[in-house]
Chain A
Amino acid sequence: DAKTTQPTSMDCAEGRAANLPCNHSTISGNEYVYWYRQIHSQGPQYIIHGLKNNETNEMASLIITEDRKSSTLILPHATLRDTAVYYCIVTGTASKLTFGTGTRLQVTL
């Protein structure tokens, strides 16, 4: 599985968009980009995933660059409940998930 690089931490004001970047320069053609988040000691929550097209669901949007070497998870209107560790994971669908250290997002008033 391709390695990912994420900032260790980020802050975001409540109500503003949170943009979480992820670099995955060694991604291969059949690998997807998955995003999960973990709210303090709970089980990780699936957010979204994509292959090469941008994706949007009720939780977030995923923007993948044309060369697929990086992506951005966008939470359009962050709330305090979005404070969590966000994990960007690159893997084939048949493969296991390998978690890195993620980005700790702190949403503030």
Chain B
Amino acid sequence: SAVISQKPSRDICQRGTSLTIQCQVDSQVTMMFWYRQQPGQSLTLIATANQGSEATYESGFVIDKFPISRPNLTFSTLTVSNMSPEDSSIYLCSVKWGSTDTQYFGPGTRLTVL
């Protein structure tokens, strides 16, 4: 499977600030995804990020709040902007990889906003 790393693994931030989360994959992949998992909840897809095109956001998520970059086939960033305590979540990136296009997940970034 693809090996995915995320930085930072966790962070504690002040409200009103922004945090950029990095996702690095050890293989070139076309499709990358960003998910959010709020405390005690299941995963929710934020957006799909394909290299060379604008990210596609799911209902309830907007580019101004969660800008995404996808500069090449192995890297993506998600920024959580103007944070509030409600943004406290685990943020996960994932990729489709392999002959069966199976989706694999990174270890997640645990964000706490005070």
Question: Footprint of B on A, CB under 8 Å?
Answer: 34, 36, 41-46, 49, 87, 93-94, 96-102
Contacts and interface: CB of A to CB of B under 8 A. Distances in A.
A43 B107 CA distance: 4
B101 A43 contact: no
B45 A97 contact: yes
- Specify which of B43, B100, B101 lies most central, judged by the most chain A CB atoms within 10 Å of its CB: B43
B105 A94 contact: no
A59 to B, nearest CB: 12
28 contacts: A36-B105, A41-B90, A41-B108, A42-B107, A42-B108, A43-B4, A43-B92, A43-B105, A43-B106, A43-B107, A43-B108, A44-B92, A44-B94, A44-B105, A46-B1, A46-B102, A46-B104, A49-B100, A49-B102, A93-B101, A94-B101, A96-B45, A96-B48, A97-B45, A98-B45, A100-B42, A101-B42, A102-B42
B100 to A, nearest CB: 7
B15 interface: no
Interface residues of B, number: 21
Nearest to B106: A43
Contacts, number: 45
B103 A46 contact: yes
Contacts of B48: 96
Contacts of B100: 49, 93
B43 A99 contact: yes
B33 interface: yes
A46 to B, nearest CB: 6
Nearest to B90: A41
Contacts of B101: 93-94
A44 B43 contact: yes
